[in-house]
């Protein structure tokens, strides 16, 4: 009963994974104070006895599904340590990167995008930020202040853009690299403005 698939009919059999998802939502609701211990125990008993989606659905009908809601803002901080986000991860619409004396790699090719645009606010000192984007993504680094720094791969416009990444902020004694999976060198050819 994941957020990606529509719920089956009320009489369809529920799997262990479906029951586990309901348990996770009940645990979140208890931790947030949305339900008390007595209600939690009652609903947990009902989960273990449930065999169909029709029996599971009412147990969380009055609870928000916080796991499927995109975060408003996500801040990634690193001081002297490598920071990598790749594979299936959930960036927010507004992503803040605050890093110094390190390397940061954000691979958005398999990420669960919160919408068609991600805005990255970067505050970097003595740091390299590498952003890997899908081929159908435009990247804008026009609002970045470079102080004794450089930018590689100012993204050429995607031929048929479906998404965009806007990077803004300040880079001091550092570098921003933008690359795509289809780029054999790992970064774009430099192009004169």
Q: How does residue 192 score in pLDDT terms, banded at 50, 70 and 90?
A: very low
Residue 188 has pLDDT above 60, yes or no: no
**CA triple 155-103-143, angle to 5 deg:** 40
DSSP assignment letter at 16: H
Give the separation between CA 110 and CA 94, rounded to whole angstroms. Answer: 18
pLDDT at 2: 47
Give the separation between CA 118 and CA 103, rounded to whole angstroms. Answer: 20
Tokens of 144: 């970045």
pTM of the full predicted structure?
0.59
pLDDT at 30: 84
Write the pLDDT tens digit of every residue in 17-71: 889 889 988 988 887 788 998 999 999 999 999 999 899 999 999 988 766 555 5
Mean pLDDT throughout 105-117?
Answer: 93
Q: DSSP secondary structure string, 18-80?
A: HHHHHHHHHHHHHHHTSS-HHHHHHHHHHHHH--BHHHHHHHHTTS--GGGSPPSEEEEEEES
Residue 130 has pLDDT above 70, yes or no: yes
Residue 166 has pLDDT above 80, yes or no: yes
């Amino acid at each position: 009963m994941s957020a990606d698939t529509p719920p089956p009919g009320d009489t369809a059999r529920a799997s262990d994974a479906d029951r586990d998802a309901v348990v996770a939502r009940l645990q979140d609701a208890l931790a947030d104070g949305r339900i008390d211990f007595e209600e939690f125990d009652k609903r947990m008993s009902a989960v273990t006895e449930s065999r169909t989606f029709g029996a599971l659905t009412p147990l969380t009908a009055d609870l928000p599904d916080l796991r499927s809601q995109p975060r408003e803002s996500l801040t990634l901080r690193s001081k002297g340590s490598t920071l990598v986000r790749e594979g299936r991860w959930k960036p927010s619409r507004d992503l803040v990167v605050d890093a110094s004396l390190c390397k940061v790699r954000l691979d958005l090719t398999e990420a669960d995008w919160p919408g068609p645009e991600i805005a990255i606010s970067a505050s970097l000192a003595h740091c390299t930020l590498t952003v890997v984007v899908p081929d159908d993504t435009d990247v804008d680094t026009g609002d970045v202040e470079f102080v004794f720094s450089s930018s590689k791969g100012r993204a050429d416009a995607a031929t048929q853009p479906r998404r965009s990444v806007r990077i803004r902020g300040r880079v001091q004694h550092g570098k921003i690299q933008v690359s795509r999976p289809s780029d054999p060198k790992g970064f774009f050819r430099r192009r004169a403005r």
